[in-house]
Structure 1
Amino acid sequence: MEELKNIIESLIFVSKEPLSIHEVKKILPDIDAGEIRSALDALFREYEENKRGFYLREVAGGYQFRSRPEYRQWIAELIKPNPVRLSKAALETLAIIAYRQPIIRSDIEHIRGVDSGGILRMLMEKKLIRALGRKDIPGRPLIYATTKQFLAVFDLKDLKDLPSLKEIEEFGKQSAAMLDEIQDMDDRPEDEPEQNDPIESPARSLDVPENEDFSGNDEP
């Protein structure tokens, strides 16, 4: 167990993205998945009991070592990261996609009431959303969903960890009317095909921590 624990610890440290049990098993095919999970549980307890500078976190479908928040100010002095800035409109669009995925652009714009082409392109460039394919309706619009990068940025194990609509309303300062639109989407008929993508004007910005690319195979 000790050697297995050390191997898994080293794999997690060198991995650029959260490492799943399935990925560990591909590297160690003779080891049972239950043994891998037991080793991960032992690592978790060890890092918690010793209160090290890192802790083991299950996020985005895998495991990752993260620095403890209480040491953030000293880490920031060393690396001085440039934050990724998301506008209120971008957060609003991202929330709609997160809760209604898979979703097409015309549905997003019906909820927001404004063109969202520029914001969708920006969110794709930041690897927070991806295109799953095209919907089989006139115009064949792209279908959007969130990525593993989205889960990692917002510290989510999976989409089940998303806060309630009430909580996301408070976080993103979204209106109750918009949330009603999200909840009522299933009652609407199919939307018209997508149009061109004019760039949307920027809005007030909010900070989101910079992260590595955890999108894995999320690209279309």
Structure 2
Amino acid sequence: MTADASTDETIENTTDAAAPRVAASGPASEPDLDRAIEALLMVADEPQSVMGLATALSRPVKHVQAAIHRLVADYDGVDGTVRRGFELREVGGGWRIYVRGDYDQVVADYVSQQNPSRLSQAALETLAVIAYKQPISRGAIASIRAVNVDSVVRTLLGRGLVTELFTDSETGAINYGTTDLVLQQLGINSIDELPPISPLLADGTEGFDGDVR
């Protein structure tokens, strides 16, 4: 057996047979894989499963799991590294980057101090859907509005107008609701004080089937 053949056999034997093959153009080292996963998590709107990340990057599941653990240790300041202002949490069967709880108030203060620009029509419509149908997932919002609402929901989250209430244990979908800031802006004490919406709809029910104020 030649040296090249021996090397190939070693790689084959150490690769998880059940996991996707490493793409020729994919990350070749541990730091590269860590950064690739980090990049995907930075733009993801929902928790990402290890299997999903492995498929997206064409890497074995066990390699992705190891990379996740390295990132968690890195962000948490393990082994003498600096503790970051954000953390990697496992929620709803997947992983997602969050602001570390210690800095929630810092972020809230920053957002409240910004000069708010007017919300777009799309943002106002999405906020109305969330206000009247909460708790509601992004998929359900998109179904009602018949458009992609990912960027709009991010805007509303950034403005502190909506918040993540919980993650569905079965689907992994995040459910959203409005914050106290919405009540303050509208000058009401409770979401129950919102006016009935049925008279404002074209046929009284379109898009808001079920319990409607």
What band does the TM-score fall into relative to the shorter chain? 0.3 to 0.5
TM-score, structure 2 normalization: 0.42
Which is higher, the Rg of structure 1 or of structure 2? 2
TM-score, structure 1 normalization: 0.41
